[in-house]
Amino acid sequence: MMIILRPNTQQDKITQLENYIGRLGGIEIQHIQGQDTTILGLSGDTSRIDPGAFDMFEFVERTMKVAEPYKKANRKYHPENTVINAGGVEIGGKNIVVMAGPCSVESEAQVLSIARDCKRAGAAILRGGAFKPRSSPYAFQGLGMDGLDLLSIAGRKTGMPIVSEIMSTDHLEVFDREVDIIQVGARNMQNFVLLKELSHLRKPILLKRGLSATIEELLMAAEYIMAGGNDNVILCERGIRTFETYTRNTLDLSIIPVLKRQSHLPVVVDPSHGTGLWWMVESMSKAAIAAGADGLIIEVHNDPPHARCDGQQSLTPLVFSQLMRSLKAIAQVEGRDI
């Protein structure tokens, strides 16, 4: 629900209304400040509020129901783009942020050499999986805590913030301490227990779209994290399940303008998992930037044929550096830097 106040309503009146809303309990208020109008956006369980109750405040112009179930993630509640600071790198601003690195951390030498190459090519953030959600229990599950340590070392040595996937609430503390962005993988997008725990942190969260999640479900997952107080959510399109089998997933680039219209949160695209094919990464990256994405997350491996995970979709450092050069032109056309 949104409460639109009359132009130039004085602060003491606004406070009076806020106190009234406060007494209703369980409702949070977002301030949307225009040139001379103020709008209060209410989130929480607003279903039991009678909009007519606000008529007694003569400075209330009108109330409006918000059709979408997501409130804090809704652009109506926050008209400007959200810019998130992740270890000194801004995501959602003018700069297109490229996160790159191996699917999984395999060894210190591997992650460090890839990190150096990615940094030299212009990546801003280092990615690397330590806890891997594999379809087969017999497949490489990641190096776990050791992998996280190696990623941290590589991040520190190259001066790059790091992003890695969390799989269990048991690891909240260590992820909060060690990584700059906590990734919620596609398979955990609706792990509401995990989302609620992450909502108590202030750490940026890279929230990947579930394998068959609708746009509204993705935004409601973001709302879970925001409802608990963590506003630092980055949305990530990584491809969805369709009838098509040529590609690993169907990269839904049409989600970008929708998310940008409906939400103020930054949008990142993962063309590696989105296609599953390394040679498609360049064209899909260009298209993502042209469509308005704020960043990309790309898998890079120094020896793709021998990668322990996702070699077929990983770029070599050389191809990655060529890609970075080719993205500059697209970013420029879009009035952005990379």
Contact between 103 and Mn ion by CB under 5 A: the answer reads yes
91 close to 294: Cβ distance less than 8 angstroms: yes
Number of chain positions touching ligand PEP (CB under 6 A)? 11
163 close to 180: Cβ distance less than 8 angstroms: yes
Pairing of strands 125-127, 162-166: parallel
Instruction: Write the DSSP string, 176-199.
Output: HHH-SEEEEPGGGTT-HHHHHHHH
Contact between 204 and ligand PEP by CB under 6 A: the answer reads no
Q: Which is nearer to Mn ion, 76 or 273 (CB)?
A: 273
Q: How far is the CB of 183 from ligand PEP (least distance, A)?
A: 6
Q: According to CB under 6 A, which one of 73, 84, 186, 194 is a site residue for ligand PEP?
A: 186
Q: Which is nearer to Mn ion, 2 or 103 (CB)?
A: 103
Cα(110)–Cα(152) distance, integer angstroms: 13
Number of chain positions touching Mn ion (CB under 5 A)? 2
254 close to 227: Cβ distance less than 8 angstroms: no
Q: Is 90 exposed, middle or buried (0-12, 13-18, 19+ CB in 10 A)?
A: middle
Q: How far is the CB of 55 from ligand PEP (least distance, A)?
A: 48
Picked from Mn ion, ligand PEP, none, the partner binding residue 196 (CB below 5 to 8 A depending on kind) is: none
AA identity, residue 179: V
Q: Which is nearer to ligand PEP, 76 or 132 (CB)?
A: 132
Picked from Mn ion, ligand PEP, none, the partner binding residue 238 (CB below 5 to 8 A depending on kind) is: ligand PEP
Contact between 270 and Mn ion by CB under 5 A: the answer reads no
Residues 6+ away with beta carbon under 8 Å from 58 = none
Q: Which is nearer to ligand PEP, 26 or 133 (CB)?
A: 133
Among candidate residues 181, 268, 265, the one with its CA nearest the CA of residue 219: 265
Q: What residues between 89 and 148 interact with ligand PEP by CB under 6 A?
A: 103, 129, 133
- Binding segment for ligand PEP (CB under 6 A), chosen from 109-117, 167-175, 181-189, 329-337, is 181-189
**φ, ψ for residue 153, nearest 5 deg:** -60, -45
Q: How far is the CB of 207 from ligand PEP (least distance, A)?
A: 10
Q: Which is nearer to Mn ion, 231 or 310 (CB)?
A: 310
Side-chain-side CA neighbours of 46 within 13 Å: the count stands at 24
310 close to 299: Cβ distance less than 8 angstroms: yes
Cα(116)–Cα(296) distance, integer angstroms: 18
Picked from Mn ion, ligand PEP, none, the partner binding residue 260 (CB below 5 to 8 A depending on kind) is: none
Contact between 276 and ligand PEP by CB under 6 A: the answer reads no
Contact between 297 and Mn ion by CB under 5 A: the answer reads no
- Binding segment for ligand PEP (CB under 6 A), chosen from 24-32, 94-102, 179-187, 255-263, is 179-187
Q: Is 255 exposed, middle or buried (0-12, 13-18, 19+ CB in 10 A)?
A: buried
Q: What is the DSSP letter of 65?
A: -
- Binding segment for Mn ion (CB under 5 A), chosen from 74-82, 102-110, 166-174, 207-215, is 102-110
Which residues make up the interface to Mn ion (CB under 5 A)?
Answer: 103, 310
Which residues make up the interface to ligand PEP (CB under 6 A)?
Answer: 103, 129, 133, 165, 185-187, 208, 238, 270, 273
